[in-house]
Structure 1
Amino acid sequence: FFLCFFMPSIVLSFEFPPERSENDAENEIGWLVAPLPIIVEGIGSSVPIAASISNVYRSTDLLMAKTLFKGDFEVSLFSISKFPVIDEKLLFSLGVTDFYMPFRSYDRGIDSGKEDYYQTLEKYNSNFVTFQSQFYNQRLEFLLTYSTGGTKLEKIFDVDGNDFSNIQSPQRNWVDHVIGTQIDLTDNHLDPSEGLRIGLLHSNTNYGLNELSDYAVDDLNITAYFPFFKTHTLLFNAFQSRSNITEKGLVDEDAVRNKFGLGCDLEKEAVACRNTETRRINYWLKRNRSSKATALGGLNRMRAYSQGRFYAANSSNYVLEYRLNYSEKRTPMNWIFLGGLRTVLQTSFFYETGSVADDISRLHQKMKSSFGVGFRAIISGLIYRFDLAKGEDGIAPTLFINYPLSLGSLGT
C-alpha cells in the first residue's frame, strides 16, 4: 500500500510527474447563496444565510455568513481568500468570525461512545491572516498563518439536555502560528486525476491561561491519484498527525478541578452536574498532560462522525476514494442563488479508516471506519460537495465547499 506514496515511479505506469493542465473556467466568476440551518436538540436552532463568490477579483474568493432572523444562535463570518499581492506568486487571505452557538466535546480516545460528550454554549470569536506563495505552476507552495481567538462559556449541557451555568474560568484566549508546505506533482491543481501530492503542516497553539498547556502539532498528508478509463480517478490518501506539549499547564487533578469546576452545589441537578464536571475536568486534564493532535471526524476525515469526534496525542487516517466525472461539459449557470460556469459533475464512493491514541505504539490497534457516497459539482473554480457517510454512530451528511482530505488551507 505505501509503495503508492513513496515509489511512484514503480507503481505509476504513466509519465511522472504528469503534464500540468489548466481550465480557464476556473477563473470565471461564480456565486452561491443558501440557508445553513443549525439545529441542536435540547439547546435551540437558527438559520444563518451563507454566500460565496468565487473569482471576484482574479483568483480572489469571498465567503460570508450571517444570522438575519432571530434564533437561538448567532453566526457572523467574513473571509477573503487568495487576494494576489504579487501576481499569483504571493496570495493574501484574512477572516473574521463571531459565533454564539454550541460546541460538542467528546471523551478522549478511540473508545469514546456516541453519547460520551458534553456541549458548551459559547460566545466565540477568531481572526486570521494567511500568506501563501505558489511557484512552478502551483507545484510548490508555502503557507504562513497567524490567528487569534477567544471564547466565553455561557452554559454547559450534558447529553440529557440539563444545563449548568456556574462555570469557573469560563473564558480562554489563544494564539496560533501555522507554517506549511505542499509539493503538488499532479496534472491539475483543482481537480487532479493522476499524480502525487504531499503536504506538511506545523502549528503552535498558545493559550492566554497559564493553567492550560501549550502544544505543537505536525501533520503529514499524502495523496496518490490514478486515472481510470477516461474521466474516472482512484485516489489513496494517508494522513498522520503528531502532537507534543511545548509548555505544561496544570496536571494535578485537584488543581484542575478547582480551576475548571462547575459549582455543582449551586445546581438543582447536582448529580448530573458532577458527572458533567468530571467529564470536563478529564477533558482538560488529559489535554494538559498529553496535548491534542488533529482530530478525526467531520467535514474532512471520517465523515460518518461528528466534528472532532476522535482525538488524542496522535492520529492517523487512510482513505480509498473512487471519483466518477460523468459530465465535463461547460455549462453556464445563471440561477438567482447559484451561478457560474459548471465544468464537472461527479459522483464518488469512499472508504475511510482511522485511529487515535496517546501512546503511539497503540495507534493502529483499534480502528474506526466510515464509508459512503458523494456528489460534487465544480462551478467557476469552487467545488460544491455533498457526502453521505455511514459509521458506527449512524449516517451523517456533509455539505461543504472544497474536496475532503485537505491539509488546512494548503492547495485551496
Structure 2
Amino acid sequence: MKKLSFLFIIFILIHSSVSAIERRTEQFPTDFGYLTLPLPYVIPGAGMGLGFLGGFNNVPFGSTETTLDLFAILITGDIGGGIVLATDVPVIPEMFLLDVGQGNFDKGSFRSYRDRRMNSDPDDYVISELSDTRFRFTRLTLTFFDRMFDVFTFGTNNKSTLSAIRDKEGKLIYEANQSFEGDSRSNGFQIDWTDDRTDPQKGLKLIYTNTDSPDSASDSPDYFVQSYNFTGYIPVLSYSTFALNWYRSGATVRKQGNTDLDYLIAKETATCFSNCDSETIALLAKNRQATNQYGSGGSLGGTERMRSYVGGRFSGAQVESRGAEFRWNLSDEKTAFDWYFIKDIRTGFQVAFFYEEGTVADKTSDLWNEKRTSAGIGTRLVTGSGFVYRLDFATGKEGGSTIVIFDYPWGTFGQ
C-alpha cells in the first residue's frame, strides 16, 4: 500500500509539472533505420569466431509506421548461438509497450575475481566457462505525458551450466558440471523531465528499480536490490549539454544463505570431476559466501559506468558511482544517409569528454573508503530512428578500453 501511495504522489507531481518543460522532438519516432555489422570476437576461455548484427528501428507494417524495433545477433565459431529481441512493440500505441527477447549460446565465460573489494589485484582472477546458456526476458511499460512518466516491470529467466574453470590465460584448471537456473523480477518507474528522451539537452531524469532475487535453493540467499539512477542535463553553448549522473544500488537481505565456508568448499568440490584445484575451489566458495551473506547489488565496469574497466570488474552488495560528461554538439542538422550497411537520419553529432568515479562494498558504511576513477573522450552520432552510435576511449588505473555501442552511457532497465 505504501508503494502504491508513493507512486500515486509521484504521478500527481509529474502531472502538475510537465508544462514547465517542452519536448523539442517527437517522442514516438517512426523514422525507419537499420544497421548491419560483422562482429569478430575473441573471448578467453570460450573461443573465437564471427558474429553478425542486424538492428532495425521503427519497422513499418506495410504502409503503417510503427515504433517496433527488431534486433538479431547470429554467432558462429567456437561460441554458437544467437539473440533475438523485439522492443517498443506498440500493444496500445503511445501508451502500452512490450519488449521480449531470447538468447541461446553453446559456450560463454566470465571473470571471477578473488576479491570483490576496490583494492583487489586486477590480474587475480579465474575464468568461469559456461555451456548451454539460455536467457529470456519480458518487459511491460505503461507510459504517460509524452513519455515523461513510465511504469515498468521486467522479468528474466536464466539457465546455464558451469563446465570448466580456467586461469587468466585460458588454460584449463579443472572441469566441472554445475547447472543453475534463476528467475528475477524488476519493477520500477522513470521520470523523464527533459526536452527529449533520446537526446536530452536540459532537464532531469530519475529511474528507480526494485529487483527481487528470491532464493533458488535452501542454501541460497533471499534478497532484493533497490537502485536509483539520477541524471541532470544542463544546456551550455548554443546546443551542447553538460550531464551529471549519480547512481546508487544496494542489496537488502531477507534471509542469508549458507555462509559456512567448509560447506561451500565441499559443494564446489562436488561439482568438479577432473583436475580439481583446491585453491581455486576455495576462491569460488569465498565469493559465494560473501553473496550468501550480503547479497549482490551489482557491479562497476563495462560500457555504462567506469568505462575504462572490464565489465563486472568491481562488485558488491552496495554500489555507488558519480559521473560527468560534456557533450559538445557540433551539428544538429537533419541529414539522411544510406551506406548499404546502415541507413538513418542524422540529427546530431557530438564529441564527448567524461569523468567517472565509483565504489563498491558489502556494507554501506564502507562505501568510498576505496574508489576508482575513469576518464576519456568519445563521439556520439544521434539519429532520428532512436539509435545513438557511441564510440568511447576511456582510461583508468588498470589501463584503457575502447567501447562501441548504440546508446548513451548510464542506462538502466528504465531506458
Per the normalisation by structure 2, the TM-score is 0.89
1:4 alignment partner in structure 2: none
Cα deviation, 1:355-378, whole Å, max 9, x if unaligned, reads: 001121120121100000111112
2:326 alignment partner in structure 1: 322
- Worse-superposed segment, 359-368 or 106-115: 106-115
Secondary structure (helix, strand or coil) at the match of 1:161 reads: coil
Tell me the distance in 2 between the aligned counterparts of 1:198 and 1:16: 18
Q: CA deviation at 1:44?
A: 2.1
Question: CA contact under 8 A between 2:242 and 2:326: conserved in structure 1?
Answer: yes
Tell me the distance in 2 between the aligned counterparts of 1:365 and 1:24: 42
Equivalent of 2:34, from 31, 34, 52? 31
Q: Cα distance 1:207–1:37, how it changes in 2: closer, same or farther (>3 A)?
A: farther
Cα deviation, 1:335-390, whole Å, max 9, x if unaligned, reads: 21111111111110000000001121120121100000111112221111111110
User: Are 1:63 and 2:66 matched, yes or no?
Assistant: no
1:51 alignment partner in structure 2: 54
- Structure with the bigger RCO (C-alpha within 8 Å, sep 6+) is 1
Question: CA contact under 8 A between 1:17 and 1:195: conserved in structure 2?
Answer: no
Tell me the distance in 2 between the aligned counterparts of 1:24 and 1:329: 18
Letter in 2 for 1:309: R
Tell me the distance in 1 between the aligned counterparts of 2:273 and 2:93: 62
1:104 alignment partner in structure 2: 111
User: Are 1:202 and 2:207 matched, yes or no?
Assistant: no
Letter in 1 for 2:334: R
Equivalent of 1:93, from 87, 99, 102? 99
Cα deviation, 1:12-33, whole Å, max 9, x if unaligned, reads: xxx9943222148942110111
Equivalent of 1:275, from 272, 275, 279? 279
Letter in 2 for 1:295: S
Query: Percent identical across equivalent pairs?
Result: 28
Cα deviation, 1:91-147, whole Å, max 9, x if unaligned, reads: 001010112221222231212221122112212111011100110111111110121
Letter in 1 for 2:252: N
1:5 alignment partner in structure 2: none
Tell me the distance in 2 between the aligned counterparts of 1:41 and 1:198: 37
Tell me the distance in 1 between the aligned counterparts of 2:165 and 2:300: 23
Cα deviation, 1:173-208, whole Å, max 9, x if unaligned, reads: 101111010111111111000111111110012353
Equivalent of 1:335, from 336, 339, 347? 339
2:395 alignment partner in structure 1: 390
2:151 alignment partner in structure 1: 142
Question: CA contact under 8 A between 1:346 and 1:377: conserved in structure 2?
Answer: yes
User: Are 1:83 and 2:68 matched, yes or no?
Assistant: no
Equivalent of 1:369, from 369, 373, 378? 373
Question: CA contact under 8 A between 1:134 and 1:140: conserved in structure 2?
Answer: yes
Tell me the distance in 1 between the aligned counterparts of 2:171 and 2:406: 34
Segments of 5+ residues of structure 1 without an aligned counterpart are: 1-14
Q: CA deviation at 1:210?
A: 2.9
Secondary structure (helix, strand or coil) at the match of 1:178 reads: strand
User: Are 1:402 and 2:407 matched, yes or no?
Assistant: yes
Letter in 2 for 1:303: R
2:294 alignment partner in structure 1: 290
> Matched residue pairs, number?
389
Equivalent of 2:259, from 251, 270, 283? 251
2:9 alignment partner in structure 1: none
Question: CA contact under 8 A between 1:144 and 1:178: conserved in structure 2?
Answer: yes
Tell me the distance in 1 between the aligned counterparts of 2:392 and 2:28: 24
1:350 alignment partner in structure 2: 354
Kindly report the root-mean-square deviation, in angstroms, between the aligned alpha carbons of the 2 structures: 1.9
Tell me the distance in 2 between the aligned counterparts of 1:404 and 1:278: 36
Tell me the distance in 2 between the aligned counterparts of 1:311 and 1:41: 20
Q: CA deviation at 1:294?
A: 1.9
2:12 alignment partner in structure 1: none
Tell me the distance in 2 between the aligned counterparts of 1:297 and 1:289: 23
User: Are 1:114 and 2:122 matched, yes or no?
Assistant: yes
Cα deviation, 1:284-310, whole Å, max 9, x if unaligned, reads: 111111111121111111111111111
Secondary structure (helix, strand or coil) at the match of 1:398 reads: strand
Secondary structure (helix, strand or coil) at the match of 1:405 reads: coil
Tell me the distance in 2 between the aligned counterparts of 1:42 and 1:280: 17
User: Are 1:151 and 2:160 matched, yes or no?
Assistant: yes
Equivalent of 1:301, from 302, 305, 321? 305
Letter in 2 for 1:141: D
Equivalent runs, 1:111-260 vs 2, <5 Å: 111-123=119-131, 124-167=133-176, 170-260=178-268
Secondary structure (helix, strand or coil) at the match of 2:314 reads: coil
Q: CA deviation at 1:37?
A: 2.1
Letter in 2 for 1:219: S
Secondary structure (helix, strand or coil) at the match of 1:188 reads: coil
Question: CA contact under 8 A between 1:17 and 1:186: conserved in structure 2?
Answer: no
